[in-house]
Amino acid sequence: MNLAALTLHEASDKLLRREISSRELTEAVFERIAATDKSIRAYLTLARDAAMEQAGHADRRLGQNDAVTPLLGVPIAVKDNFLTRGLRTTCASKILGDFVPPYDATAVAKLRAAGAVIIGKTNLDEFAMGSSAENSAFFSTRNPWNPERIPGGSSGGSAAAVAADQCIAALGTDTGGSIRQPAACCGVVGLKPTYGRVSRYGVIAFASSMDQVGPLTKDVRDASLLLQAIAGHDPADSTSTDRPVPHYSTALTRDVKRLRIGRAREFFVDGMQQEVKSAVNDAILTLKNNGATIADIVLPHTEFAVAVYYIVATAEASSNLARYDGMRFGHRSDAKDLTETYRISRDEGFGAEVKRRIMLGTYVLSAGYYDAYYLKAQRVRTLIKRDFEEAFEHCDVIVTPTAPTTAFKIGEKTQNPLQMYLSDIYTISANLAGLPAISLPCGFDGQGMPIGLQIIGKPFDEETLLGVAHAYEQSMDWHKQKPKL
């Protein structure tokens, strides 16, 4: 039995029946990492000793039937922008270097409380700024389906680790598509919950009004289990909503009969890879054949989403990253005075893409340009949100491609930032509107690269989102196909 290839729910069932131990499962995952990570490079930091200790503790709890949860004893990877107590957290940036946090992010603390085994920290685009995992200050992660191609970003390390069976499931963050787009590139499931559903406390901030924590998993059922564990109100996060958390796995029993599936023409435009368009249209037809009704909708302000995002997100990044000044933590250069310390520390510590976004964000917030750019972008953001509100009067979920193309070659777009930014053209709108959205596999292109199907739901209606995704998944077997490593 290949233990590392188990889904979360399969692993949990075997652990609960005592067919395997957490130590055996965790050891199998580390063996898989040792065998494959030289070509994939999904991890920045591994925590083998601590993980085996956690696995031993989980086995004792399982043996005593003590507070058993679906995550108890299951090896989970965590994106390296989550604070992890006693475990290095770099955000893939030299400016944080060997920073070791004194406390856990709330999502990580909830994983630990559920008995999950934290096996390591995955690579990402520096400060979660990117769509390809090429902006890491340390190395690029590669796609398990083809190591010459990108795994998506910014949660590329987490997506690649899940696809390569280097963990059972993983956590990522999504600011403009950074869970869903790498999920599509790597052929796994990626869920961005509604803004406020999962605490952001202890997650290194990029754009605070859009950042959201979510799972990357091998199938939809696993996504529901991991979301169940991390969702809920957190007094430490003022944007965390005080709403009851549904039992998400029960939503998977729903069918799609009488559900209305929205198809927006704005998401099926010229420039999309033809194989992506065909696969998504086939998926919509599958949902229709399962009893859903297809409704044509319009989202007229979608064309402005990329421009709005890269004004609002960079403005928030400029503010959030001001705290990295070489004085309190992280990299600090030798300089003759305070001003030089700030300047040189930031110059040496930040990579090119982070500097680009800080400069752009500072510009749009500056006197004389605030009204012309930032304020106008916020107004258009409101219009985008209203488009979705009107669309959801005619449908229950909206189905779109996750990305306009499959994973492109490493280095193909690094010299053209604008082309790189368009990788998120279909995912950004959900972040601007604070909506839940999920990506799951819906086919492969002629080069054998996975294609992602995105489903967008109403605010705090992750249940319907998961139900539709699960119904489609059960009609197909795309999620069962694995890369050959």
Residue 21 identity (one-letter amino acid) = S
Catalytic residue among 22, 132, 155, 178: 178
Catalytic residue among 154, 155, 249, 429: 154
Q: Can 199 be counted among the known catalytic residues?
A: no
Question: Among 149, 407, 438, 440, which residue's Cα sits nearest to residue 275?
Answer: 407
Decide if 361 contacts 314 (C-beta within 8 A): yes
Strand, helix or coil at 210?
A: coil
Considering only CA atoms, give the Rg of the chain: 21
Tokens of 75: 């090896």
- The contacts of residue 401 (CB under 8 Å, 6+ apart) are 267, 268, 272, 276, 277, 280, 426, 451, 452, 453, 454
Decide if 102 contacts 56 (C-beta within 8 A): no
Q: Can 154 be counted among the known catalytic residues?
A: yes
Question: Among 395, 394, 378, 374, which residue's Cα sits nearest to residue 433?
Answer: 378
What CA–CA distance (Å, rounded) separates 85 from 101?
Answer: 5
Angstrom distances, CA of residue 127 to CA of 100, 133, 353, 421, 431: 16, 11, 10, 16, 17
- The contacts of residue 58 (CB under 8 Å, 6+ apart) are 15, 22, 72, 73, 115, 117
Catalytic residue among 14, 21, 22, 79: 79
What CA–CA distance (Å, rounded) separates 453 from 469?
Answer: 9
- Tally: H helices and E strands in the chain: 15, 11
Decide if 39 contacts 134 (C-beta within 8 A): no
Exposure string for 158-175, b = 16+ CB within 10 A, e = fewer: bbbbbbbbbbbbbbbbbb
β-pairing verdict for 450-457 and 397-401: antiparallel
Q: Can 178 be counted among the known catalytic residues?
A: yes
Active site residues: 79, 154, 178
